[in-house]
Structure 1
Amino acid sequence: METAELAELAVFASVAKHLSFRQAATERGTSGSAVSHSIRSLESRVGVRLFHRTTRSVSLSEAGEALYARLEPAMAGMRAALDGLNSFRATPFGTIRINVPNAIAPYVLGEAMGLLASNAGLKLEVVATDSLVDIVQEGFDAGIRFGERLSQDMIAVRIKPKFRFTVVGSPSYFERNRAPMTPHDLHGHECIRYAFPSGTIFNWEFAKDGDMVKVEVAGALTVDSQELMADAAARGLGLAYIWEARAAPYLHDGRLRRCLEDWCTVDESVFLYFPSRKHQSAGLRALIDALKA
């Protein structure tokens, strides 16, 4: 088989996996037009249509499904064979794509980025978004999440650090309002709410002496960024429920003060998760080792 034919089959397998020319191009580090050209060339050579295309979607034809079913195991075998060469390298090699919530990305990726300094052949692509992402469909090697339930075909590894929420407000806010003594007192306060990309409002959660309390807060301001929440709270617009690490600079210089400290006692673990495949790239293994607690 010619090199050009192998390259076209590799492009076909990528498009078939993602059902997206754009995502296949991103995965392969090329342009969408180059991917389209490869698929047209392959279809012309084999004499059948492999994909149904519209302006909004891409799907496999019956012939495409048959080809992909036979081709993907062979491609996986070739990827594993190539990755096996990593045992002969002094350092990991290749590109790792990782998805991480935007709110915690600055606090969990330091060790991962440190890998690049000591591994010249390694590349890291990070997409930070608070939207829930199907890492397989979107072409990621791994993702980072809190302890939400993951599908059975995923492996989750606890990573560092742990996170703790804190409730904060500005000195000027507490001059106008008595600090809440229990989470239930929050119903009488102006609170800065956090909204997920789906539009769902994040409820504030507390625990003390085994008593778990979840509060649906109210307030005039709703944002989708912890950084904005901290800034708004420092301006006296209300109370914010944010990571201690995010609040630390504001607490240090006095722009924010804590409240409900005895209720903010639960540390939340973060997990790196990835598909439970038999073969993992050396780069992904190095990332797991760097991040795990």
Structure 2
Amino acid sequence: MRSGLTELEAVLAVTRLGSFRAAAAELEMSTSALSQSVAALEARIGTRLFHRTTRSVRLTEAGERFVSDVAPAVAGIRGAMERAGESADEPIGSLRLNTSVGAARRLMKPLLIPYMQRYPRVELELVTEARMIDIVREGYDAGFRTQDVIPGDMVAVPTGPQIRHAVVGSPDYFARHGRPRHPGDLTSHVSIRARMPAGHIYHWEFERHGETLTVAVPGVVTLDEPHLLREAALAGLGVIYLSEFDAEADLAAGRLERVLEDWTPPFERLALYYPGRRHVPAPLRALVELIKEIG
């Protein structure tokens, strides 16, 4: 007799993601195979679990009761399987992480590559996206973000140095337009603005000796990715405000020059974050231990 665990995982994935196609991709199944699994389970228990239309998928009333009953049991089975794997000499299993592109670039060499080299039996999946997501609802074990945006109910493990922003431009731009000496001078400069994932234009933030300023810089060019901002600045189109990490190679080579450095003090660090719960899977626990080891 079949255990039905595959069908239960399929139902829970469709419930969480609201889509048969997305659930099939997550479970590495074809959409038709996943649909057949759900249909087989519905036939076995004698009730329909989902209302399906061409535009939406939602639980029936019976489906809501069913998911409420089985989700804790499936989570318990997953936990038992993970704990059984912990008796091995090294972590085994999967680890799904979500972060921004900039954070992934910052963390890859000092942290993630050493992790993968140390624990080759862990299946690591790293997904990058600009928007802040609910990692639990979307099926991730953990994420990396700056400490200031991590939800308060999450466990946070800081990693790496504090982050600084930098205001930079090309030598040619500064030769033509001069160098701003105060954040207020930026209103008479050509700036390349950044659009944030939530859709708003980012206002540049400064602080010196306890004085804080926020400048809504003018500009005719607006971009939404640090690499694009950097390319525009290298072309002499204007000054930009971005992470020091994204500009350091160009600053070292003289392709970009920095201004207002004393107005951009360090602020938040990146942190690994994950739900506070009694059992932490072995692959995630190993990552936490590595972060504490390397600092």
Deviation at 1:166, TM superposition (A): 0.8
Moved more, 85-94 or 4-13: 4-13
The amino acid across from 1:222 in the alignment is T
Contact 1:204 1:214 (C-alpha < 8 Å) held by counterparts: yes
Residue 99 of structure 1 is matched in structure 2 by: 98
Q: 1:166 to 1:152 in 2, by over 3 A?
A: closer
Contact 1:52 1:58 (C-alpha < 8 Å) held by counterparts: yes
Contact 1:203 1:214 (C-alpha < 8 Å) held by counterparts: yes
The amino acid across from 2:73 in the alignment is A
Residue 241 of structure 2 is matched in structure 1 by: 241
Moved more, 232-241 or 108-117: 108-117
Contact 1:20 1:58 (C-alpha < 8 Å) held by counterparts: yes
Contact 1:112 1:290 (C-alpha < 8 Å) held by counterparts: no
The residue matched to 2:147 in structure 1 has which SS? coil
The residue matched to 1:201 in structure 2 has which SS? coil
Count of aligned pairs between the two proteins = 292
Residue by residue, what CA displacement relative to the aligned partner does 1:243-290 show, whole Å, maximum 9, x if unpaired? 122111111221111100111112321122212222221111122233
Matches of 1:195 and 1:126, distance apart in 2: 24
Matches of 1:16 and 1:130, distance apart in 2: 24
Q: Which runs of 5+ in 2 are unaligned?
A: none
Residue 20 of structure 2 is matched in structure 1 by: 21
Structure 2 counterparts to residues 83-94 of structure 1, below 5 A: 83-94=82-93
The residue matched to 2:137 in structure 1 has which SS? coil
Residue by residue, what CA displacement relative to the aligned partner does 1:96-150 show, whole Å, maximum 9, x if unpaired? 1111112232002331232222222211111111112221222111122123344
Q: Which runs of 5+ in 1 are unaligned?
A: none
Residue 268 of structure 1 is matched in structure 2 by: 268
Contact 1:112 1:291 (C-alpha < 8 Å) held by counterparts: no
Matches of 1:65 and 1:9, distance apart in 2: 13
Percent identity of paired positions between Structure 1 and Structure 2: 41
Residue 129 of structure 2 is matched in structure 1 by: 129
Q: 1:152 to 1:64 in 2, by over 3 A?
A: farther
Matches of 2:166 and 2:250, distance apart in 1: 12
The residue matched to 2:155 in structure 1 has which SS? strand
Matches of 1:113 and 1:34, distance apart in 2: 35
Contact 1:15 1:23 (C-alpha < 8 Å) held by counterparts: yes
Contact 1:164 1:266 (C-alpha < 8 Å) held by counterparts: yes
Residue 43 of structure 2 is matched in structure 1 by: 44
Deviation at 1:16, TM superposition (A): 2.5
Structure 2 counterparts to residues 213-232 of structure 1, below 5 A: 213-232=213-232
Residue by residue, what CA displacement relative to the aligned partner does 1:140-179 show, whole Å, maximum 9, x if unpaired? 1112212334444422221224321111111111111121
Matches of 1:241 and 1:260, distance apart in 2: 11
Contact 2:18 2:57 (C-alpha < 8 Å) held by counterparts: yes
The residue matched to 1:104 in structure 2 has which SS? helix
Residue 287 of structure 1 is matched in structure 2 by: 287
Structure 2 counterparts to residues 72-83 of structure 1, below 5 A: 72-83=71-82
Matches of 1:249 and 1:17, distance apart in 2: 42
